[in-house]
Amino acid sequence: MRRMEQTEWTDRTDPRNRCCCNIHVVKGATIIAIVGMVIAVLSIVGCILAGRYFQCIGFVLAIFLYATVLYAQHVRNPGLYWPYLVVNGISIGICSLYILLLLAMFVVMPAFWQRHLNETTNYQYQEAINKWPRVITGLAAAFMLLCQVVNIWFELVVYNAYCFIRRDQPMLLNNAYKA
């Protein structure tokens, strides 16, 4: 019975192993890793050109995490997905707290926040000076929420790829012993 369940779940055509646009979760995780690496490399170039060398550390870490996803798929080792899954899970938690903070600032709009936004945007018109910080805060919260939804979806795709490789691994080992 156990063997039948493994065969059922590891079937590549099973819809439970599919993500957006009917792409297999392993291929989806590969696409996420490649796009993430390209964005991280471009961000490193931007940071170097702007002279912000300290910010490059986070992007180098991101490249390492995306590389572990690609390497995990290459060697079919599900344990190599964990660095990405853990760090991305932590970032989801931190970003969720930041979104809640932005929403609280949107509702309450403390004086220090309003003053900070007016100074950083150089907004000059006195009649709209009270509305402008609320608009900026709302847009920032909406953008962060959109990024958060995409990040959670990426986490689910990579986690499903991890589960697929983990379920597929015993079958690969059994077939290797037969050969």
Report the number of distinct structural domains present in the chain.
1
Which residues, other chains included, contact 148 with Cβ-Cβ below 8 Å and sequence gap of 6+? Answer: 92, 95, 96, 99
Of the two residues 176 and 164, the one the predictor is more confident about is: 164
Q: How far apart are CA 46 and CA 27, in angstroms?
A: 29
Do 18 and 25 touch, CB atoms closer than 8 A? yes
Q: What is the pLDDT of residue 2?
A: 46
- Lowest-confidence range among 35-44, 56-65, 118-127, 148-157? 118-127
Give pLDDT tens digits for 73-111.
Answer: 999 999 999 999 999 999 999 999 999 999 998 888 888
Residue 91: its pLDDT value, please?
95
Q: Quick check: 15 and 8 in contact, CB under 8 A? A: no
Burial class (CB in 10 A: 0-12, 13-18, 19+), 105: buried
Q: Distance (Å, rounded) from C-alpha 148 to C-alpha 156?
A: 12
The tokens describing 47, both together, are 């940071």
The range of the structural domain enclosing residue 47 comes to 2-178
Q: Which of 61, 92, 107, 59 is nearest to 158 (CA)?
A: 92
